[in-house]
Chain A
Amino acid sequence: MQKFFSDAVEFVPILLQGVWLTVVVTIGSLLLSTVLGLLWAMMRVSGIGILVGVSAVVINVIRGIPIIVLLFYIYFVMPDFGVALTALQAAIIGLGIAYSAYQAENFRAGIEAIDKGQIEAAQTIGMGWWLTMRRVVLPQAVKIVLPPYGNVMIMMLKDSSQASTITVAELALQGKLIASSTFKNTSVFTLVALMYLTMSIPLILLVRHFENKANRK
């Protein structure tokens, strides 16, 4: 145990550099997945044939490809087409795109849960599609969407470790590097696990808060 604490003192500062990149990847891809997910969801509920079709295809293609393959594709294949990205950029874009499919389905479920009468009421006071979305549907859908959205945040935090496969030195990769050079596997990976857990707990509490709030309605 004492050995563990002395290892911790030594390794935590290095691992914290990884934590920083983990946070950057998670927040970056969360923002991107939210924007894209909202876009796919809006296309899906737009009622315009071509937009509905395109978003359905996009969502299913994304859902059908493993995150790790998507990351390889963006990082290793895109340069062949003249798009060279840094590992960090590729990780954020890859995870953002991968999760946009789940976000889209979540948002769509939230939007479709809103009573049709609400949309008709908005229409009868002369609101167009976009104004109806912005003033009537989305504000009500947010409450429905938040608990699953919180769960996606937790999953994205953990899946940011997949960025290690394209050389982003986030927490998991930092841990692996330290472990392979010191052979202190137990100490290092215990620390890594504890750090992920420490970051997840506030999110878990946040989800519980959202759920309580939604249930009180």
Chain B
Amino acid sequence: MIELKDVHKSFGKVEVLKGITASVAKSEVVCIIGPSGSGKSTILRCINGLESYDAGDISVEGARVDRNDRSIVAVRTQVSMVFQRFNLFPHRTALENVIEGPLYVKKEPRAAALARGRALLAQVGLAEKADVHPPQLSGGQQQRVAIARALAMQPKAILFDEPTSALDPELVGDVLSVMRKLADDGMTMVVVTHEMGFARDVADRVLFIDGGVIVEQGAAKSVLNQPQHPRTQDFLRRVLHPL
């Protein structure tokens, strides 16, 4: 469903992606792990055109991703994104955040959008927070609203860019359980994360990225439990046993 072929990307003189080839099948959950600065987030940002890429090919359901082409809007409505820092619209309530896309991009009738928006907030456990503005919500609640906002576009896939990295530790669980539920329901997901427990339990596949290349990939349990490459072994050791 999502295909990357030999994708290269540089910021100035620094090449952050050095030929990434990967694919994500429908209903698959792929976790991308790796040290910071390795290019993990850049991959997600290229997939829905928040960044351009210099060489190679990215396609979503067969359509090439080109951020400078009008077709990018269609790609973005099919592939939603959830950000590390939530990026909710602070001047709109939780419910308004969720229905913004359906109302103004997809031009759904207001009543239908409202009903679906409330249902989505209920799905992420925030039915009673519909009329609250984001600054009055905890980080975990904001991230769940952001997930509801992504779902409201009825996407075929959702990209998660370190969705729990900005959260207090005790709030991480609520967000992860919403994500796990989505995975169980068959949503296609690409998740950049440092939550190795989530990757092990929920992901079908794990990609380990370092220095702009995929160093190792495979079934989640095998990569995380028996990493083959020394860099993967070293990274996992540091993450799982920091002391």
Tell me the A residues contacting B by CB distance below 8 Å: 115, 117-118, 120-128, 131, 135-136, 139-140
Docked Cα-Cα span, A79 to B87, in Å, equals 53
| Between-chain CB contacts (< 8 Å), 13 pairs | A118-B87, A121-B88, A121-B89, A121-B146, A124-B48, A124-B76, A125-B77, A125-B150, A125-B153, A126-B73, A127-B104, A127-B105, A140-B90
CB <8 Å contact, A124 and B104: no
Minimum C-beta distance from B71 to chain A (A): 11
CB <8 Å contact, B83 and A120: yes
Docked Cα-Cα span, A139 to B74, in Å, equals 25
Docked Cα-Cα span, A6 to B146, in Å, equals 69
* Shortest beta-carbon contacts, A-B, top 3: A125-B101, A121-B87, A117-B87
Docked Cα-Cα span, A39 to B117, in Å, equals 35
- Given the contacts A117-B83, A120-B50, A120-B83, A126 and B89 also touching, CB distance less than 8 Å: no
* A-B contacts besides A120-B87, A125-B76, A125-B152, 20 pairs, CB < 8 Å: A117-B83, A117-B85, A117-B87, A118-B87, A118-B89, A120-B81, A121-B89, A121-B146, A124-B50, A124-B80, A125-B77, A125-B80, A125-B101, A125-B149, A126-B105, A126-B106, A128-B73, A135-B104, A136-B89, A139-B91
CB <8 Å contact, A126 and B77: yes
**B152 contact set on A, CB distance < 8 A:** 125
CB <8 Å contact, B50 and A125: no
Which residue of A118, A124, A128 has the most chain B CB atoms within 10 A of its CB atom? A124
**A126 contact set on B, CB distance < 8 A:** 73-74, 76-77, 101, 105-106, 153
Chain B residue at minimal CB-CB distance from A136: B89
**B210 contact set on A, CB distance < 8 A:** none
Interface string of B148-172 (1 = CB under 8 A from A): 0110110000000000000000000
**B101 contact set on A, CB distance < 8 A:** 125-127
**B73 contact set on A, CB distance < 8 A:** 126, 128
Docked Cα-Cα span, A140 to B152, in Å, equals 23
Interface string of B73-110 (1 = CB under 8 A from A): 11011001101010111110000000011001110000
Docked Cα-Cα span, A139 to B90, in Å, equals 10
**A124 contact set on B, CB distance < 8 A:** 48, 50, 76, 80-81, 150
CB <8 Å contact, A123 and B91: no
- Given the contacts A124-B48, A126-B153, A131 and B87 also touching, CB distance less than 8 Å: no
Minimum C-beta distance from A132 to chain B (A): 10
Docked Cα-Cα span, A162 to B79, in Å, equals 57
Docked Cα-Cα span, A67 to B136, in Å, equals 47
Interface string of B116-155 (1 = CB under 8 A from A): 0000000000000000000000000000001001101100
**A122 contact set on B, CB distance < 8 A:** 89
Minimum C-beta distance from A186 to chain B (A): 52
Docked Cα-Cα span, A141 to B83, in Å, equals 22
Minimum C-beta distance from B85 to chain A (A): 6
**A117 contact set on B, CB distance < 8 A:** 83, 85, 87
Docked Cα-Cα span, A123 to B87, in Å, equals 11
**A131 contact set on B, CB distance < 8 A:** 104-105
Minimum C-beta distance from B96 to chain A (A): 10
Docked Cα-Cα span, A122 to B81, in Å, equals 10
Chain B residue at minimal CB-CB distance from A128: B73
Docked Cα-Cα span, A122 to B50, in Å, equals 11
Minimum C-beta distance from B99 to chain A (A): 10
Minimum C-beta distance from A136 to chain B (A): 6
Chain B residue at minimal CB-CB distance from A142: B91
Which residue of B77, B87, B153 has the most chain A CB atoms within 10 A of its CB atom? B87
**A127 contact set on B, CB distance < 8 A:** 101, 104-105
Chain A residue at minimal CB-CB distance from B67: A123
**A121 contact set on B, CB distance < 8 A:** 81, 83, 87-89, 146
Minimum C-beta distance from B172 to chain A (A): 20
Docked Cα-Cα span, A123 to B85, in Å, equals 15
